[in-house]
Amino acid sequence: MTRFDADGGVTPLAKAPARVKWRKPVKPVSDKRAGKFDLHAKLRADVLARDGGCVLHGETDIDCTGRPTVHHRRKAGACGAWSMRNLVCLCWGHNTDIENRPDYYRERWPWLIVREGDDEWEACG
């Protein structure tokens, strides 16, 4: 490696550091988790095919933005299942807005958010 001096001359620099030799690649997930990822990917594709895009397209004051995602009607953190009944297709913008204003959406589209005590609570779990 070289470096240019202020007067335009070239001065050799110290030797470049040796390349790091990486270890053998590690398997990122266990076989059990890899199977879940495959199942989730298939379900995402099935939900996108069923709904054909964001189910709120043209329904709100927000334009559809971003790629289509799946929205859990009963939250995964509340033991919501990865099932066709519990998932709907939303664009990234609507999915983010639902997380920020759930009461607004529940008031207008009650089928979109399932909370404990609702008739569908057990069915979506």
Residue 7 lies in a domain: no
What is the value of pTM for the model shown?
0.63
Residue 5 lies in a domain: no
What residue numbers bound the domain in which 109 lies?
Answer: 39-119
Residue 125 lies in a domain: no
Residue 89 lies in a domain: yes
**DSSP conformation letters of the chain:** -EEE-TTS-EEEPPPPPPPPPPPPPPPSS-HHHHHHHHHHHHHHHHHHHHH-S-TTTTTSSSPP-SSEEEEESS-GGGT--SSTTTEEEEEHHHHHHHHH-HHHHHHH-GGG---TTSTTTTTT-
What is the chain's pLDDT, residue by residue, as a tens digit (125 residues)?
Answer: 455 555 555 555 555 556 656 666 656 666 666 666 667 788 888 888 988 888 888 887 778 888 888 888 888 777 777 888 888 898 888 888 888 888 888 888 888 877 767 666 666 66
Residue 124 lies in a domain: no
Q: Structural domain tally of the chain?
A: 1
Residue 59 lies in a domain: yes
Residue 6 lies in a domain: no
